[in-house]
Amino acid sequence: MSKPREELNPFEIAKRQIDRVGRRLKLDPGLIELFKTPKRELTVNFPVRMDDGNLKVFTGYRVQYNDALGPFKGGIRYHWNVSLDEVRALACWMTWKCAVMGLPFGGAKGGVICNPKEMSRGELERMTRRYASEISVIIGPEKDIPAPDVYTDAQTMAWIMDTISMSVGYAVPEVVTGKPVGIGGSLGREEATSRGLMYATREAAKRTKMNLKGASVGVQGFGNVGYNYARLMHDEIGAKIVAVSDSRGGIYNPDGLDPMKVLAFKEKTGSVQGFPGSKKVTNEELLELDVDVLAPCALENVITSENAARIKAKIVAEGANGPTTPEADDIMYERGLVVLPDILANGGGVTVSYFEWVQNMQEFFWTKREVDEKLEGQMVRSFESVWNMAQKEKVDLRMAAYMVAINRVAEAYRLRGIYP
C-alpha cells in the first residue's frame, strides 16, 4: 500500500530541498524563508452549466511562486487529485526549472479539481473559459503566462487565449503557450521536452565517455515524452531502444525496437504489450533491465530506496517530474550512476514555451530548425553550468541543479534589492 496523499505532501518535500540547498549556499535565513513562500495564491470557486442543465461548482487555483527573474510561467492541470499544496510545490519547482534553464521567467502553476475523463468537450470548454475569466485578474503576457499540463492540451490553451482576447477586445496570443500553431503556437513545441532530454543524455554521455551509437535504452512511459524521446534517440543518435512501456506494462527486445512501429501497434491495439517479437516485462522490471540509458518518462516516485540498488543503467534521464526519491538519489550517487535531474533534463518543454512567447511578443516566427538549434544551445549551456557545479562542490547533479537555480534567483534579489 502506498502512503495516503497527505503524508507525501509535495510542498513539504519542496521546502526541505530549499532548506538543504540554502544552507549549503550559506544564504541569508530570511531569503531561504522567502524561497519557501509563494508570492501570491488565488483560489476560485465558480459555477459551470453541465450538459444535463444542472449547475456544478468547481474549485481552481493559480499559485504565483516567485517572479524575481521575470513574469510567472507554468502549466494548468485538470485532475481529481489537484490540491493547493500540490500546486504550490509544482509552482516552486517551476521557479527552479526556469532558473536552471537560464530563462527570464519565474514559476507558477494552476489547476482545477475535476475529472476530465467524465466530462464532455462542451463541459470542458465552458469550465476552461470560466476558469480563465476567474484568473484573468492575475494572468497576462507581462504578468503570468500559463501552458498545458496534465489532462490539458493545445485546445485548452486556445480556449483560454480566446477568452482573454474576448475580454480585452483584441487577439492576445502571447497570454498562453502550447497553443496550436495556427493561432501562434511554436513549431517544435510538441517534441521539445523529448528533444531537450535527448540533448541532456548526449551531453552526459560525452562526459562519461559513453558511445551512444548502438547503446541500449529503456523508456518507461510511452506517451508524448517517452515516445518522442525513443524516436529521437533511435533516429538521430542511433541508439538501440530495447524496452518501452505504457500503463499496462512493457515490452523488451535485446535486438532493438522501432519506436514508430511500436506506436502504430499501440494506436491499433491500445497498448505496446503484445508487439511482435518482443518479450513481456512489467513496468517495475523495465527499470532494472541491463541497459546503458534508462529514461523514466511516466510517473513520480518510481525509483525508490527499494529498487535503487538494482538499477543497472549508467545514465538515468528523468523525462517525468519527480521519478526518483531523495533516498534513491543517494544510493545511485554512491554507486556512480549519473542521474539527470528533472528540472534540467526535461527543461526543453518550458524552454520552447519561452521561445513561443518571444515569437508572439515580436510577431515574428522561426522555422523548426531555428527552434531546435536554439533549444540545443540552451540545453548545452544549462547542462554545463550544472555539471561544473557538481564537479566543483562534489555533489550529485540534482543538488547541483538546485544550487545553480537558487543561486540565480538569490542573485536577482541581491541586484534588485528588497522594496521599498
209, with CB counted inside 10 A (0-12, 13-18, 19+), is exposed
C-alpha cell at 2: 502506498
CA distance 71 to 140: 9
DSSP structure class, residue 64: E
Catalytically annotated residues = 109
* Cβ count near 146 (within 10 Å): 28
Predicted local confidence at residue 212, as pLDDT: 96
Domains in the chain (CATH in brackets) are 39-174 (3.40.50.10860), 192-345 (3.40.50.720)
Angle value at C-alpha 282, between 266 and 275, nearest 5 degrees: 30
- The sheet with strand 216-220 has its strands ordered as 279-281, 249-252, 240-246, 216-220, 293-296, 315-317, 338-340
Residue whose C-alpha cell reads 518571444 in the numeric block: 358
Closest CA to 408 of 163, 96, 114: 96
Q: Can you state the angle between helices 368-393 and 192-207, rounded to 10 degrees?
A: 40
Alpha-carbon separation of residue 32 from 23, 65, 95, 98, 394 (angstroms): 8, 14, 14, 18, 22
Amino acid 8: pLDDT: 61
Q: Report the candidate in 418, 398, 399 with the shortest Cα–Cα distance to residue 410.
A: 418
Give how far the C-alpha of residue 192 lies from the chain's centroid of Cα atoms, to the nearest Å: 11
Which CA distances in Å does 248 have to 116, 257, 272, 275? 21, 18, 8, 13
Q: Is the peptide bond before 420 cis (omega within 30 degrees of 0)?
A: yes
Q: Whole-prediction pTM value? A: 0.94
Helices (H), 272-367: 283-287, 326-334, 342-345, 348-362
pLDDT score for 5: 34
pLDDT in tens, the chain (420 residues): 444 333 467 898 889 889 999 999 999 999 999 999 999 999 999 999 999 999 999 999 999 999 999 999 999 999 999 999 999 999 999 999 999 999 999 999 999 999 999 999 999 999 999 999 999 999 999 999 999 998 999 999 999 999 999 999 999 999 999 999 999 999 999 999 999 999 999 999 999 999 999 999 999 999 899 999 999 999 999 999 999 999 899 999 999 999 999 999 999 999 999 999 999 999 999 999 999 999 999 988 899 999 999 999 999 999 998 899 888 999 999 999 999 999 999 999 999 999 999 999 999 999 999 999 999 999 999 999 999 999 999 999 999 999 999 999 999 999 999 999
Q: Do 208 and 338 contact (CB within 8 A), yes or no?
A: yes
